[in-house]
Structure 1
Amino acid sequence: MASTWSAIAQPTDLIASNFATGETNWFAIAENRIVNRASLPISDPNLQVVDIYDYDRDGRSDLLWNDRRDNSLYFSTNGQRIHLHTLNDLNWQIQRIGDFDRDHDRDILWRNQSTGQIALWQLNGMQTESGQILATVDRGWKIADVQDYDNDGDLDLLWRHDRSGENVFWQMNGAMIERGFAIASVPDPTWKMIGSGDFNGDQKFDLFWRHERSGQIVIWQMNGMSIEQGTSLSIAVDSSWQVKGIHDYNQDGTDDILWQHVQSGMIQYWEMERSQPQRSTFPTTFNNWQIQSFKQSEFTAKIPTYNPNSGYGIVNAGIAVAAAIGQAPFAQVQNTSWAVDMMNVPEVWARGYTGQGITIAVIDSGIDLTHSDLRSNLWTNSREIAGNGIDDDRNGFVDDIHGWNFSLNNNDVSPSSAHGTAVSGIITAARNNFGITGVAYNSNLMPIRVTNAQDNWNGNLANAIRYAVDNGAKVINLSLWWADSPQLRDALAYAASRNVITVTAALNEGSSQPSYPARYATQFGIVVGAVDRDRRFSPFSNRSGADPQMRYVLAPGRDIETTIPGNTYQSGWWGTSMATPYISGVVALMLSANPNLTHDQVRQILIESTTDAIV
Structure 2
Amino acid sequence: MSFSFSSQLWSLGLALLLPLASAAQNTTPAALPAVPIQQWFHLDPTTDKVMGVSAKRTYEELLKNRTSAPVVVAVIDAGIDTAHADLKRVLWTNPREIAGNGQDDDKNGYIDDIRGWNFLGGKDGRNVDVETYEDTRLLAKLKPLYEGKVRTAVPANKRAEFDLYQKVKKSQASKIAENTTQYQSLSENYKLTEAGAENLRQALNVPRLDTATLHRAKPTDPNLLRAALSLDANLRSAGYADLETVLKDMKEGMDQSKNLLDFSLNPTYNPRATIIGDDPANVTDRLYGNRDTHGPDPSHGTHVAGIIGADRTNNLGVLGIADNVRLMAVRAVPNGDERDKDVANAIRYAVDNGASIINMSFGKYYSPQREAVEDAIQYAEKKGVLLVHSAGNESQDIDTDVEFPSPVYLNGKRIPNMITVGATARLNDNHMVAEFSNYGKKNVDVFAPGNQIYSTLPGQEYGNKSGTSMASPVVVGIAAVLKSYFPKLTAEDMKRIILQSAVVYHTKVVKPGTNKEIDFAELSNTGGLVNLYQAVQLATRQTP
- Normalised to the residue count of structure 2, the TM-score between the two structures is 0.49
Q: Which has the higher helix share?
A: 2
Look at both structures and tell me which one has the larger radius of gyration over its CA atoms.
1
Q: Which has the higher strand share?
A: 1
- Normalised to the residue count of structure 1, the TM-score between the two structures is 0.43
